[in-house]
Chain A
Amino acid sequence: MISIALDGVTKRYTKGEHVLTPLENVSLEIASGDFFVLLGPSGSGKTTLLNLLAAIDRPDAGRVIVGGTDLAKLPSGRLASWRSEHVGYVFQQANLVPVLTAYENVELPLWLFPMSRAERHRRVSLALEAVGLLERAAHLPRQLSGGQEQRVAIARAIVADPPLIVADEPTGNLDHESADGVLTLLSRLNVERGKTIVMVTHDPRAAARGTRRMQLDKGQLLDLQPAGTP
């Protein structure tokens, strides 16, 4: 279980004289167990925000507190292991390692933990089973469909059992059917396992899966109606 708080977060990029501020004094709270959907036009800073939550980027101002940890106070040497323990990241593209099988791709995050081979095997199998691809374990990414690849990527994101899953347009490259499979998977992880999920999407159908929805535009967050309420 993990909750998230952004407190006056600003992120800006400077290119010469040009200053871009995708996030300006943004504050936000996401409760543990939320399926939080982030919408917004292209270039509005959605990925930037996810990256802050996933501790692969730092804000220029403000605080990002995930599960009670102020990420800014975490020494950079600790960030990597914090990530491996707390966040599963699902990208728009599956980003699998092409020379590793589905099984090995899912196993990857577990290399970072002291764990017996048997325990690793148990966890990888569970994760692959959860995404319905156990029988594809020995396949290389190029032998899988786009939807299957993305499900393997989800298995990789959950194998170490992190409490937070961030997903950046996880269905952006998929057809309807594959997208539905992926979204159902994320919903189940949220409902059945209590994972906190933060998902960026452009797709209204995908957005409908969320328990909370917000729009990011011109550096500001706007609360949208929670899904399901009129």
Chain B
Amino acid sequence: MKLARLIAKNLKRRPMRTLLTLLGVASAMLLFVLVESLSAGLDRAMGGTEAARTLVVYRQNRYCPQTSFLPESYVERIRKIPGVVSALPVKVFLNNCRASLDLVTFQGAPAEELLRARPVQVLEGDAARFVRDADAALVGRAFAARKGLRVGDSFRFGNITVKVAGIFSSAEPVEEDVVMTHLEFLQRAGPVNRLGTVTQFEVKIDDAARAKEIAAAIDDQFRTAQEPTDTRAKLAFLESATRDLREILGFARWLGIGCVAVVLALVANTVLMSSQERVREFGVFRTLGFREQHIAFLVLGEALILALGGSALGLGAAQLIVETSHVSIGSEGVSVGFRIVPALALRVALVAGAAGALAGLYPALRSASRPVVAALREA
């Protein structure tokens, strides 16, 4: 349609104003996208394929891996409980239990069992070498990307040094931000030798519907033991670990809504100005035989281009930031990355389209409905 080309030309009429509006919209939408992508990352973290069939056994009344200690020997008793398919003793070591932008999580478990129990796929490197070498580690691909690690590298953290034997992907997204090591290696690695204790057990069960029942059976086993346990479904475990993050995100979403309001105001302001400058021109168009709808289309089109164009810029910038920084937010050992998925891009387009349409509505109606003669008399 030729009118669309006219809209584009009109935007070039005041290039600086158009540019500033686009940049403003882009900045606001960048923020919106980052908030939404963190939310998408959180959803993904919760959405592991195995989450429903996995229980996590933790030390009762402990919430941080640094303070949860359970005897490794519990594993035998857990395995005997009906409904339990497998149990994996896991030692977790991490740098920070609170919300953090640079979470480093080591998880140690008996190497072969670990590979069997977790839905990981070694992308690069060698699983056999991992099993063989005591100080070898398999590194999740998100973590590897964040730290720039490659197979064969050594990675040093505190007084722990591991050799990267492989890089893996996982069907459980949170695990892709984890460094997996041998159990014993990690038990010996801390300042105090913790041989014989683990942080948690990961229990696979045969029937997701019986999760509550089996969890209760496990906790019953150790009710009177020195280290009582607290067993929860993995999903519930993840949810409690990310509770703080969730709350912050809930607040951040208001910011996201504020960003959309900024887009609305920016676009409305620009379009209002540009349509007011062209009152007479619109009168000429109407005299030539253009209809009210044509005028409305010109104004609305301008608003949509500004909103959608600026949002595309913001989305692109967010993508760039997420891809180059690999930043993720960790909380209680659970790492949540920013994810820009097609569904989010679609949502951005819808939100931007709606904001643009809303912003353009009033100027469009006003311009279209002005009597021709009155428009022509305008200076």
Contacts and interface: CB of A to CB of B under 8 A. Distances in A.
Given A56-B372, A56-B373, A57-B373, A99 B13 contact: yes
Interface in B91-122: none
B280 interface: yes
Contacts of B9: 99-100
A143 interface: no
A97 B281 contact: yes
Interface string A58-90: 000000000000000000000011111100010
A83 B287 contact: yes
Interface stretch (A1-9, A106-114, A212-220): A106-114
Given A83-B289, A109-B288, A109-B289, A100 B281 contact: no
A99 B371 CA distance: 24
Contacts of B3: 111
A83 B2 CA distance: 20
Contacts of A51: 372-373, 376
A99 B288 contact: no
A56 to B, nearest CB: 4
Contacts of B373: 51, 56-57
Given A57-B372, A57-B373, A112 B6 contact: no
Contacts of A109: 288-289
A91 interface: yes
B289 A95 contact: no
A182 interface: no
A65 to B, nearest CB: 19
Contact of A91 (B2, B12, B284, B371): B284
A80 to B, nearest CB: 5
A56 B286 contact: yes
Nearest to B292: A80
Given A99-B9, A100-B6, A111-B3, A80 B281 contact: no
B12 A99 contact: yes
Interface in A46-60: 51, 54, 56-57
A218 to B, nearest CB: 21
A56 B3 CA distance: 22
Contacts of A56: 286-287, 372-373, 376
A230 B373 CA distance: 38
A64 B270 CA distance: 41
Interface in B320-378: 371-373, 376
A95 B284 contact: yes
B125 to A, nearest CB: 59
B13 A83 contact: no
A99 B281 CA distance: 11
B13 A80 contact: no
Given A51-B373, A56-B372, A95-B281, A80 B286 contact: yes
B291 interface: yes
Interface string A106-148: 0011011000000000000000000000000000000000000
A98 interface: yes
B289 A112 contact: yes
Nearest to B8: A99
Contacts of B371: 57
B290 interface: yes
B290 A80 contact: yes
Nearest to B288: A109
A96 to B, nearest CB: 9
A51 B284 CA distance: 12
B10 interface: yes
A6 B262 CA distance: 53
A152 B287 CA distance: 16
A99 B10 contact: yes
Contacts of A81: 289, 291
Nearest to A89: B287
A84 B376 CA distance: 17
Contacts of B280: 95
A80 B284 contact: no
A128 B371 CA distance: 30
Nearest to B373: A57
Given A56-B373, A100-B9, A112 B290 contact: yes
A81 B289 CA distance: 5
A200 B290 CA distance: 24
Contacts of B287: 54, 56, 83, 89
Given A82-B289, A108-B285, 11 more contacts: A56-B373, A56-B376, A57-B372, A80-B289, A80-B290, A80-B291, A97-B281, A97-B284, A100-B9, A109-B288, A109-B289
Q: Which 5 A-B pairs have the closest CB atoms?
A: A84-B289, A56-B372, A99-B9, A83-B289, A80-B291
Interface of A: 51, 54, 56-57, 80-85, 89, 91, 95, 97-100, 108-109, 111-112, 156, 160
